Each structure stands twice: as structure tokens, then as C-alpha cells.
Structure 1
Amino acid sequence: MSNDKWNEDTIEKRLRNMPVVKDQRSKDEIMQRLKEDTRLSEPNGPKKRPSKSKWPPIIAAVAAIVLLTIIVPTFIQQNNEVSMDKATTEESADPIVMEDSEEMQSNEASDASVFTKQVSAPLSYAAYPADILDHTAFHIGLATDQAAIVPVTFLIPNERLPEGLGTSPDAVALYNEYANTIDEEALGFSEYHPYKAMISSNGNQVQMKFTADHTYDRSSATLEMLNLSVQNTFQGYDEIQFLQEDATPITFDQVGQVDEPISLSGVASRQAYYRFLKSDGEAVLSTNFGKTSETVEQALHEMKKSPNDIFSTVIPEGIDFTVKEVKGIVNVKFTKVLDLDKMQSEKALQLLDGILLTAASFDKQVEFDQIAQEQWNKFDFTRPLEKPLGANPKYLINE
């Protein structure tokens, strides 16, 4: 029932609003109907009915009006409620859609953020001076499931460096700040960092004070991995000293007490670079377990063949070159004109970056001959190319 309160004024008002019924018949038609009406021809005239007979039609009419006034508003109210419900549903649906859209965008942004933090990399297998114009290079040797150490160069935006690191942080400061933030497994490597040691520096020497529960001397292989890892991590230092927690010389089960510091080769590692396929299917460039060569010519020629089943050559079959050093510049001349556009971009980059990284490990620049293009990608073959600063660049952005 409606909650509206009815009174005589309301009923009278609604009655006045009832439609007016008009008789459209002509006067002649009405007169003719009256003449034909047999009730008018009765001698005594029409019988007079009791007065009460006049009320039922009036009461019925009033009741009908009242009923209409009750039903119509209720019907209108229901319609309004339905319309409001529909509008409410539509209005509430829009925020839900927006929320879902925002959530999807947020998830996409989050995924993109994760991808940017550690996985995304420049289209290159080597980092060059142009890559660190507004970034800082953080070098680190990461372990693989085949006991190999792969050099990786993380590029950190300068504006995201903590104030405490200064504008030009060294390898030790960068390691202590970022080593424990790297998700190595997400990058296709084995969990290895941070070292089970306190890392500090003293002049040009890195000092590692190992915890008592370390396992680096479990075998000769684990010791070799440790050595290769620190060689690829602490660039810019001359040597590293392995110590116990109390700063006394450490004793490794495989080699005994280590009294003398170990030399760090830094960028001048004198090593050839090869292709390594990680467990996640990504190809990276790495040295052959740290194997060194006497000269840059020897290292570049050794690159032409795969050294073992773990590392493979970056020189595609059918491609050959000669090597000659002139005034400190290594000239690499292909025996046939090399058309880089006819190669897969990935293979072409591995070829060029591998040669440049190998020469850089001897502190040498490379000048290429017999390449069809004068410029390709970011390379300008009309002049000696810049030395790479590190291998396998990846962006590292920690929120």
C-alpha cells in the first residue's frame, strides 16, 4: 500500500483532472432516439426509483477513482525504483569496470616494473661508454647450474643511486648495496650472492672476511667458481685478500692456509668470449672458465671454434677473418664481405660484441674491414670502435 495520505481536497482535485466526456451526437439524432424509446410512450411515464439507487454508481465511480489513485502512484513508484535500481547498477558497474581496468593496468605496470628491474636488457651483449652516460655500471660474476661464472653488467640509473654511495661508487660499495637485491634465479642463474663474507676495502685491496659456515672450499670446483666470481665482480681493484671473521688468514680445505692476496685482473683479463646458453634459454657471452691467452691475435683465432660442450663459438659457419694489430688497433678483416643485414640480428650482435669484448680484455680497440654496411645498429665501421665496458648489460632499477 502507498504511504500517501488522502483527503477530500486531493480527491476533488483528481476528479477535476479526470477527462471530460463529450457527446458528439447531433440534436436530430438524439430526438429520433427519444421517439423510438418505448419507455417514453408508457402512460404513467417512467417509474421513479428509490433515491438510494442513485448512490451505488457514484460510490463505484469514487471507489474506482480512489483505487486508481492508489494503484497508479504505486505503479509509478515501482517503475521509478526499477529505473533507479537500473541506474544504480549501471553507475556501480562503471566503477567496477574502471577498477578492473585500473587493476589490470596496475598489474601490467607491476609486471613491467619487475621486467625493468632485472630482466630487461639493451639490444646488445656488451655495455659501451654510451650506455653509462646517465647510468652506473655494476659488474658481477653470476653462477650457472654448470659451475660456470658469467659476467653481467647491471646498469643503474644515476638518479636512483642512494645518496650515501656518492656520485662514483666503487665496486665494493656497489656490491654491498645491490648484491642482495638481485633475483638470480629469475635471471636464469643459480643462487650464489651475496657472498657469505663481510666485504670491505683497504686502498686498492678488497678484503673478504668469510663466515664460519661458508662452503666455498667444499671442492676444487667451488673454489674455482669463487675465484672467477670475484675476478668478474671487483673491477677497479688490484687484489683481494681472503680472511676469517677475526681478520686472520683463512684456511681452505682444498688448498690450506691462504696467506697472500690474490691478484685481480680487472678488465684486462686476456680472455676469449663465447656463447653460453643459460637454463632459461637466453644466450649470453662468457669466457671459457677464465682461460687466458697470450696475445689478442691468439684469443681471436681461438674464438673461431667451440672450446667444449658448454661454450660455443660466436663465429657462424662460413665466416672467417684475419687479425692484425697496427699501432695498438686490432684490425679484423673478414675474408668475404660480411652483410650483416643477411644475418639474424642476434647472431650478428654476438659476433661483433664477442670480438670487441675479447679485444677489450687486452685493452685493445677493433677496426673492422670487409663489412658491407658503414653503419649498422650502433656501430660505425668507418673508424675504430670503442672498447666495451662489460658483458651482458641489464638494467637494474630497485624501487
Structure 2
Amino acid sequence: MQKQKWNEEKIKQILKQMPSIKDDRSPEIIYRTIQMEEKTVRKAKRIMPILATACTIMILFIISQSFFDSKESLKSERKVAENSSIMKAEISDEAEQSKMENFDLADQQAEMLTSSLTPAAIYQEDVGDREVLTYPIPDENVQVIVPVSILVENPNHLTRFDLYVQNVKKLMGVNKRLSEYFPISPELFSYHLTDNNIQVEVKQEFMNFGSYSEAFFNTLIQQQLQTIGAKKMEFYTDGKLGAELGNRKETIIEYRPLENRAYFLLQDSESEEQPLYVPWEKPYDSIEIAFDAMEDDMETHGLTASIPDSIDIDKVSKDEKKRQLIVHLSNESKMEEDQKTLYAIEAILLTAKEFKYSTVKFENTKVKEVGRFLLTKEVAVPVAANRAYIEE
């Protein structure tokens, strides 16, 4: 197709052929219209930068807000983390404190348990300004003699004899395992001390409290003589020397020291009371033999072993110069911080005292202390057995 060539004449001819366009508006109206359109364009040109700036500000605000929110969130998260760490530390501290408190409570309980292990004998530190009196009382079956000891004040400075007689009645009924029949009661006898000899007047017929042996009755008398510090005891009936005492007739009994005896336990398995220490009435040839005997019950007389199976004495050595007994336990021994072990320790100490030892050193015990006994050091023997508490 041939391309047309445009010239001025050609364009005029084409325009003449187009329909005519007529504008009825006056020139003034047309001018104002044009002016308004120009203002609108100029106004639009001015508004666009403002809108752009506003949008920019809004975008910056949104971004900054997001940034601040993120920062605040980060700070919040950091604070939460810090709080969490603090809480964890506090919880850890509380747990540690609780743990320590539990340990302290356990220690207190252990201390309470240890302190509850009460010795049944009297020791020198218990005496103070008081005096020790020991009374021989038969058990409820009248088979053995139980030495029962008390601590008494002596403000009037009475003699041992007068103090002994004055406190006799206070021992009645101190333990249900002891006989209610008191064979040294003032109701039965009147006592007089002359030249360090005790004269006993039988006030009424002496009640037979069993077919006791000579050793049994001898222990009864010897314990009284030992406590009072007298040399002998003479028995009278109606002013005449000699008295029927149960199945025996007695006149004069001279003091012979009670020594080399082994201590056993008199106890009731159904009773919560402490057992009583009972020295066997016959002496032993050596302390080793005495310790061996203390490992077995003496069923015929209602006595039980004072050295349990858990404690095995391997050997015994002696320091005669220091009057110290060294008791070495075997590796199989299992000393515990319990009452049974405490009874065994006291029975060993009382027996050592019978053999004239002043202290006992325990070796290979595996425990440092039992109750008041510090086993890492030498332990002093008791002053007397079976402490009874009486009203002054």
C-alpha cells in the first residue's frame, strides 16, 4: 500500500470535510474554566509532595513504632529472662536453704536422739555438793540384789549412817521391777552405830522373802556396810545377839569389799523403763572371764546379757600404773549410737570399776560417741549404779 504524503493543502481539505464544532460559551466563561483547571493542576502539584511527606512520616512512625515495640519486646524479654534467672536463683537459694534446714533438722534430730541416750549410772560430774547413797533392794522375784543409788543434799551435815537411815523410806516403790518388800526397812529394824559397827535390832518377826542363798544375803549386808563405811553388822533380838532372818540365823557379818563382779541387765521386754544393772553375787577370777560371762543370759535369775552379740571384745589390755583398762573391739563389732550400746558401755564401765580400774579406753569402736560418752577419749567409770530420782 502506497504511503500517503501529507501537506498543508491536504490537511486543510480534510479539516473542511469534518463536521463543524460550535461552543456557545462566552469567552469569559471559557477563560475562567481554563484558569480553574490550571489552579487545580497547580494545587495537585503542591499537594502531592505534602502527601508524600505525610506518607513518609507515617511510614517512619510505623517503622519506628515497630522498632520501639521490638526494642520494648526485647527489653521485656530480657527482663523476663532476668526475672526468670532471679527466680531460678531464688528457687535454687530456697532449695539450698531448705536442704540446709533439712540437714540442720536432721542434725538436731540426731542430736536429740543422742542426747536422749540417758545413762542409768551416777558419775562424778553428777555429784557436785551432794552425797551418793546406794541401797541393796531385791528384785520383785527376790532372786538378785539390785544396787539402787540416789543423790541427796546434806545441809545439816549428818553422818553417813544417819543420812542413810533418814533416806531409806524414799526408795520404796522407785521401780516396779523391785520388790515391794523392803528388807532393810526401819519398820523391821532399828539401826545404831557404835564404834563404826552397826547394831541391828529386829523389831518384829522377819518375814521370809524367799529361800535366799548365803551370797544373796551377804550382798545385801555388804552393800549397806560399804555405803555407810562401817566395819561390821551385828544382829540382836530382844537385846540378845543373834536373829532369825528367814531361813537363816545371823549374828555378826564383817565387811568384805564387793569386788570383781560382772554386771548383767534386769529388764522387762514389755516395759519402756530403763533396765537395771545387777552385779552377779559371786566374784570372777579375771575381767576377761567376767566379760565373757556378760555375753550370755542368766535365765535362772532373770538376768539378760549386758554385752550384745553386735559387740565383740577382741582383747583386753591394762595400764596398771594409770589404772586404765583398754578394751579393743573386733572388726566385726557394730557399735551404734543407740540405747543398747549405751547399756553395754555402762555395764563394761561398772565391771571395770569392780576390778579397781578408774578409766576405760575403747578402741576400734567405729563410732565417736554414744550419748554422753566420747569414745575417742578415755571414759571414767561410774560412782554408782542405777540412779533413782527422789523428792528431796
TM range (shorter): 0.5 to 0.7
Give the match for residue 390 of structure 2. 396
Classify 1:255/1:277 alpha carbon distance in 2 versus 1 (closer, same or farther; 3 Å): closer
Give the match for residue 323 of structure 1. 316
Q: Which amino acid aligns with 1:189?
A: L
Greater C-alpha Rg: 2
Give the match for residue 296 of structure 1. 287
Shift of 1:366: 1.6
Classify 1:360/1:288 alpha carbon distance in 2 versus 1 (closer, same or farther; 3 Å): closer
Structure 1 contact 209–244 (Cα < 8 Å) conserved: yes
Question: Of the candidates 150, 164, 169, which is equivalent to residue 156 of structure 2?
Answer: 164
Structure with the higher strand share, 1 or 2:
1
Give the match for residue 274 of structure 1. 264
Structure 2 contact 141–179 (Cα < 8 Å) conserved: no
Structure 1 contact 188–280 (Cα < 8 Å) conserved: no
User: What 5-or-longer segments of structure 1 have no aligned partner?
Assistant: 1-120
Give the match for residue 184 of structure 1. 173
Q: Deviations over 1:157-183 (max 9, x none)?
A: x3xx4x4344xx41x223211112333
CA distance in 1, matches of 2:262, 2:205: 35
Classify 1:205/1:370 alpha carbon distance in 2 versus 1 (closer, same or farther; 3 Å): farther
Shift of 1:245: 4.1
User: Secondary structure of 1:235's match?
Assistant: helix
Classify 1:145/1:219 alpha carbon distance in 2 versus 1 (closer, same or farther; 3 Å): closer
CA distance in 1, matches of 2:370, 2:281: 31
Give the match for residue 241 of structure 1. 233
Question: Of the candidates 367, 379, 386, which is equivalent to residue 373 of structure 1?
Answer: 367
Q: Which amino acid aligns with 2:264?
A: Y
Shift of 1:320: 0.7
Question: Of the candidates 155, 158, 177, which is equivalent to residue 151 of structure 2?
Answer: 155
Give the match for residue 348 of structure 1. 341
Shift of 1:352: 0.2
CA distance in 1, matches of 2:259, 2:378: 21
CA distance in 1, matches of 2:174, 2:371: 31
Shift of 1:319: 2.1
Are residue 221 (structure 1) and residue 216 (structure 2) matched? no
CA distance in 1, matches of 2:287, 2:354: 8
User: What 5-or-longer segments of structure 2 have no aligned partner?
Assistant: 1-115
Classify 1:192/1:239 alpha carbon distance in 2 versus 1 (closer, same or farther; 3 Å): farther
Shift of 1:346: 1.5
CA distance in 2, matches of 1:350, 1:287: 12
Structure 2 contact 310–333 (Cα < 8 Å) conserved: no
CA distance in 2, matches of 1:245, 1:279: 42
Structure 1 contact 238–264 (Cα < 8 Å) conserved: no
User: Secondary structure of 2:316's match?
Assistant: strand
CA distance in 2, matches of 1:256, 1:315: 35
Question: Of the candidates 328, 331, 347, which is equivalent to residue 333 of structure 1?
Answer: 328
Question: Of the candidates 126, 130, 138, which is equivalent to residue 121 of structure 2?
Answer: 126
Q: Deviations over 1:40-93 (max 9, x none)?
A: xxxxxxxxxxxxxxxxxxxxxxxxxxxxxxxxxxxxxxxxxxxxxxxxxxxxxx
Classify 1:375/1:277 alpha carbon distance in 2 versus 1 (closer, same or farther; 3 Å): closer
Q: Deviations over 1:280-303 (max 9, x none)?
A: 823423335512112222212221
Aligned-CA RMSD value: 3.0
Classify 1:214/1:198 alpha carbon distance in 2 versus 1 (closer, same or farther; 3 Å): same
Give the match for residue 255 of structure 2. 263
Question: Of the candidates 188, 203, 215, which is equivalent to residue 211 of structure 1?
Answer: 203
Shift of 1:347: 0.3
Classify 1:337/1:174 alpha carbon distance in 2 versus 1 (closer, same or farther; 3 Å): farther
Structure 2 contact 261–280 (Cα < 8 Å) conserved: no
CA distance in 2, matches of 1:198, 1:129: 32
Question: Of the candidates 158, 174, 177, which is equivalent to residue 163 of structure 2?
Answer: 174
User: Secondary structure of 2:212's match?
Assistant: helix
User: Secondary structure of 1:138's match?
Assistant: strand
Identity %: 20
Question: When the two structures are superposed, what TM-score results if normalisation uses the length of structure 1?
Answer: 0.59
